Amino acid sequence: MMTRRKFVAKVAAMSGGIVLIKSRQAAAERSAATILPEPREAPEWARKARILSAEYRDVPHLKRAREEFRATVMLLYCCPETTNGWCPAGTWDQIAFFIQQAHAQNLKVVCYYDTTTMEESFLSPERREWVQTTIEGKPCSFTRRHVWHLRYAFCYNTPWSQHVARIARGYAAAGADGIFLDNPNYYSFTGITCFCKFCRQGFKQETGQDLQQADEAVRIAFHQKSLREHVKRVYAAASEAAPAKQMVMTCNTSNPALPMQRLDNLGQAENVIFRETFAGQKNAKENLRRDAAVFPRKPLWVILTEGSGAKGWTGNAPKAAAQYDECLGIIMELGLCPVVWATIPSQNPLRPGFTDDSIYNQPELARVVAKHFSS
């Protein structure tokens, strides 16, 4: 039997329903637009940045990073407290020490954290409510080829957001110059999410509608806004911990076709746009040019990752060097900021993190990176 609500919705859909959906979408956007301020403009050093990935074990390489490779920024993969199961773990002392040593070489440090997924051991009973939830009330979890265990996807409308903000505050207090959040996502990992109690309550409050019965376009707008607010919250926490510093705030976009990672949405909460590209991509130059045009005043940082999780780079420095060379050539030609995997990431679930192949021990890789970074 058709409920009154469904009947009204059906009538609305038949008689100008699109207009109704659009106005609700706009209302969901408007109601959230002004909770937290957008980040300040990116610092000057972020505009001409040459960025290398780094782990704690790279401390002895910092001098080479600066002098031989002309790097200006280190993107530090060293997770305190907990990790997504892939990123190497470390202590707050190690993070502070790395930053101090990098600053001594005149290098800036941006710290990595996964903003959605977290290892299973982090999911204590009191955090059960932080997990993204399906419409049937099931927690969203997933495994990836390069990580052996199950991970959970947390929701930005829960206290998880404050937890990530606290991590960012810690990074800033340790001396970090910026925060990089990985996997900003609601939708792509697990299907249509999130229907957790925080999302349902927040949505009802903002729109007067039930989340479960809303149009998908309206739900997407709500979750896009939730993600933006989360990123702004993280930025505000980091800035509060280092008020004299102009912090970089950026998030990975691995696929701008995803509703949560659309550059025109996520980019509103960032002062640096970050784009992950993949080897062998068609129309790579045109795509990057289009990405750079979305926010022409914000720097665009670009990293090249192995396509589809293949193991093609590990133990094959010539192949990796050729693909680095091609991609870096395009990035430099377009005047964008290159981010390079100084060490090739591991695709082995039993040994996540990084391999032992790096610019510090593979001369072919070293030559390519030094050539482009100094151009």
Nearer CB in complex with Zn ion: 222/360: 222
Comparison of 131 and 327: residue with beta carbon closer to Zn ion: 131
CB of 170 to Zn ion, least distance (A): 24
Phi-psi domain of 106 (left: phi exceeds 0; alpha: psi -120 through 50; beta: other):
left
Give the residue with the Cβ less far from Zn ion, 130 or 180: 130
Q: Which residue type, as a one-letter code, is found at position 170?
A: G
CB of 123 to Zn ion, least distance (A): 15
Q: Which residues, in sequence order, are bridge partners of residue 152?
A: 118, 141
Q: Which residues make beta-bridge pairs with 75? A: 53, 110
Q: Cβ closer to Zn ion: 107 or 199?
A: 199
How many whole angstroms from its chain centre is CA 88? 16
Rounded least distance, CB 72 to Zn ion, Å: 38
CB of 147 to Zn ion, least distance (A): 23
Least separation in angstroms between CB 203 and Zn ion = 9
Q: Which is nearer to Zn ion, 83 or 157 (CB)?
A: 157
**Which helix (H) or strand (E) segment is 152 a member of?**
strand 147-153
> For the residues of 332-361, what is the DSSP string, one character each?
HHTT-EEEE-SEEEP--TTS-SEEEEETTT
**What residue ranges bind Zn ion (CB under 5 A)?**
155, 157, 194, 196, 199
Minimum gap (Å) between residue 33 Cβ and Zn ion: 19
Nearest CB to Zn ion, comparing residues 51 and 140: 140
Phi-psi region of 283 (alpha: psi -120 to 50; beta: other; left: phi over 0): left
DSSP 266-282: HGGG-SSEEEEEETT-T
β-strands 354-358, 343-345: how paired? antiparallel
The alpha carbon of 77 is separated from its chain's Cα centroid by a whole number of angstroms, namely 13
Nearer to Zn ion, 157 or 277 (CB): 157
Provide, rounded to whole angstroms, the least separation between the CB of residue 258 and Zn ion: 17
For 303, the enclosing helix (H) or strand (E) is strand 300-305
